[in-house]
């Protein structure tokens, strides 16, 4: 079968605990940031943090799980190890309705995890041990599956490790050769800082749909002006979407700027996955053939659901929420 979206990303299990701003400051972890950590740091941080909840995560994985909840038929490519957390990741993404067939690795690093510290304001600070995620390689791609998928979706987080980056480049080449769309999320300011030239090149030459939050967009073009950043983005990607937290989203396409307000949220519990679920809602709308404003509203609806509870996977019936809001 062909998929509406094939996503390549980190296969992570989130370990979510509450923490105080003082805990973060005491360990020198910038609140709201995402950082990569090694196994020893992960062990030390885990030992110090509070009781956790383990909930499957990974940025692109969250996105396709959100799409599947909205009725799309996506696939995911990413690497776990053959261990209990790998079983959890594989179970959850399949249970969400996503095709996932990347074999688990043996003898290498354990399944990756993201230690997420959530403060009372709902802000999340992410500390990612990539583990087996880095062992994804070109050999894990099914070229036919990539060629057949309507949209190839890539996360900027995975641009960092070498082998997965090569796999993503190969996937882009396959998708472009078939005239498929390529979608990309900048993921995080640290990714942009580390790979600015690559990301600018991707945007200019290989990417049709670009997702960024306002900080990432500004970082990409080294400007403090969101307007200036949006003007640059609009020059390239066919569709560029900038998410602005509670202020909603802006879609740039066909020379137009479409502003879509955010959805109301009763209480922000944990912002983990907001951007991922926005992309999931947006791409689900696109694969249904909806207009761009409705796609962005679907993104906002999915994002609003996921920040109302711990974890980056939807708990409520997203289809019903969209139906209630958009018909």
Q: Record the tokens describing residue 45, joined without a space.
A: 């941080």
Query: According to CB under 8 A, which one of 32, 71, 88, 257 is a site residue for a second copy?
Result: 88
Residues 200-229 interacting with a second copy (rule: CB under 8 A): none
Please say whether the beta carbons of 313 and 273 come within 8 A.
Answer: yes
Q: Does 26 engage in binding with a second copy (CB under 8 A)?
A: no
Query: According to CB under 8 A, which one of 28, 47, 255, 289 is a site residue for a second copy?
Result: 47
Query: According to CB under 8 A, which one of 2, 20, 35, 84 is a site residue for a second copy?
Result: 84
Q: Does 96 engage in binding with a second copy (CB under 8 A)?
A: yes
Q: Does 110 engage in binding with a second copy (CB under 8 A)?
A: yes
Using CA atoms, how far apart are residues 6 and 283, in angstroms rounded to an integer? 11
Q: Does 92 engage in binding with a second copy (CB under 8 A)?
A: yes
Q: Which stretch binds a second copy (CB under 8 A): 52-60, 156-164, 227-235, 249-257?
A: 52-60
Q: Does 51 engage in binding with a second copy (CB under 8 A)?
A: yes
Q: Does 198 engage in binding with a second copy (CB under 8 A)?
A: no
Using CA atoms, how far apart are residues 55 and 12, in angstroms rounded to an integer? 9
Q: Does 65 engage in binding with a second copy (CB under 8 A)?
A: yes
Q: Does 250 engage in binding with a second copy (CB under 8 A)?
A: no
CB of 155 to a second copy, least distance (A): 20
Q: Based on CB atoms, which residue is closest to a second copy, 83 or 142?
A: 83
Q: Which stretch binds a second copy (CB under 8 A): 129-137, 256-264, 282-290, 311-319?
A: 311-319
Query: According to CB under 8 A, which one of 21, 32, 41, 83 is a site residue for a second copy?
Result: 83
Q: Which stretch binds a second copy (CB under 8 A): 30-38, 87-95, 188-196, 319-327?
A: 87-95
Q: Does 311 engage in binding with a second copy (CB under 8 A)?
A: yes
Q: Does 46 engage in binding with a second copy (CB under 8 A)?
A: yes
Q: Record the tokens describing residue 60, joined without a space.
A: 């692109």
Which positions lie near a second copy, rule CB under 8 A? 17-18, 46-47, 49-56, 65, 83-85, 88, 91-92, 95-96, 110-111, 311, 313, 315
């Amino acid at each position: 079968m062909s998929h509406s979206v094939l996503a390549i990303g980190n296969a992570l299990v989130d370990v979510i605990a509450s923490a105080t701003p003082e805990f973060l400051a005491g360990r020198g972890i910038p609140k709201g940031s995402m950082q990569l950590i090694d196994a020893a740091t992960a062990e030390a941080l885990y030992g110090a943090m509070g009781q956790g909840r383990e909930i499957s995560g990974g940025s692109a994985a969250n996105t396709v799980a959100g799409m599947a909840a909205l009725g799309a038929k996506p696939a995911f490519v990413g690497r776990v190890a053959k261990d209990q957390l790998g079983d959890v990741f594989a179970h959850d993404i399949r249970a969400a309705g996503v095709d996932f067939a990347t074999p688990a690795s043996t003898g290498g690093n354990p399944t990756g995890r993201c230690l997420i510290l959530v403060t009372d304001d709902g802000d999340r600070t992410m500390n990612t041990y990539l583990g087996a995620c880095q062992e994804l390689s070109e050999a894990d791609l099914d070229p036919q599956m990539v060629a057949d998928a309507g949209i190839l979706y890539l996360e900027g987080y995975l641009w960092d490790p070498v082998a997965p980056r090569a796999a993503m480049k190969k996937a882009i080449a396959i998708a472009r050769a078939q005239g498929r769309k390529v979608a990309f999320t900048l993921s995080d300011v640290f990714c942009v800082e580390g790979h600015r030239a690559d990301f600018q090149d991707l945007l200019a030459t290989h990417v049709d749909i670009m997702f960024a939050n306002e900080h990432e967009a500004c970082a990409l073009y080294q400007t403090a002006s969101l307007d200036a950043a949006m003007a640059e983005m609009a020059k390239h990607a066919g569709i560029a979407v900038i998410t602005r937290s509670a202020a909603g989203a802006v879609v740039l396409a066909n020379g137009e700027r479409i502003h879509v307000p955010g959805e109301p949220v009763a209480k922000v519990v944990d912002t983990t996955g907001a951007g991922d679920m926005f992309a999931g809602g947006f791409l689900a709308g696109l694969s249904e053939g909806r207009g761009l404003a409705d796609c962005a509203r679907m993104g906002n609806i999915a994002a609003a659901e996921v920040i109302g509870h711990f974890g980056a996977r939807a708990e409520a019936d997203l289809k019903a929420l969209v139906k209630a809001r958009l018909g």
